[in-house]
Amino acid sequence: MIEEQVDIHIVERSSLRGHEEVIPSNLETRISKLQNKGFYKPIIVDSETLVILDGHHKWTAAGVLDLNWVPVVKVNYLSDPSVTVDVWPGCGKELINKEEVIEMGLSEDVFPPKTSRHIFEFEVPQIQVPLKSLRA
């Protein structure tokens, strides 16, 4: 891991675009964690399109919890070689590329859950953002 400072941005939840479905049992776990801890890790998004790269369950949980805002880390997805994408074993696809992720996120469709697996060379920071501050 490269030690580098990443900026946290607070953005409207509705401005983000998902590219994968969520797993219902994982969603319930994420809702419970957010209720107990507040937002503890940001969602990782492409800075240009706001397509979610990591954090679909947190994003969906934020909607269930009526949060208007969510913390994100923005990355230059298509041009940053330190952000890579692969597929999860058993997902049904052998390969996936960044362009496919963005295309799906900008479409009205989504991949099945746990299709893309993103690897970041930076440490995703731990944060503490109370949910009440994300509702207004």
User: Dihedrals φ, ψ of 61, to 5°?
Assistant: -60, -40
Q: How many domains are there within the chain?
A: 1
At 2 the pLDDT is 44
Instruction: Identify the segments of the chain with pLDDT beneath 50.
Output: 1-3
- Domain around 53: 9-134
Inside any domain, residue 4: no
Inside any domain, residue 1: no
At 40 the pLDDT is 95
Inside any domain, residue 34: yes
Report d(CA 35, CA 119) in Å as an integer: 27
SS (H, E, C) 54-118: ECHHHHHHHHHCCCCEEEEEEECCCCCCCEEEEECCCCCCCCCCHHHHHHHHHCCCCECCCCEEE
Q: Residue 86 belongs to a domain with what CATH number?
A: 3.90.1530.10
pTM tops 0.85, yes or no = yes
At 33 the pLDDT is 96
The number of helices, as runs of H, and strands, as runs of E, in the chain is 3, 6
At 4 the pLDDT is 60
At 6 the pLDDT is 87
Inside any domain, residue 86: yes
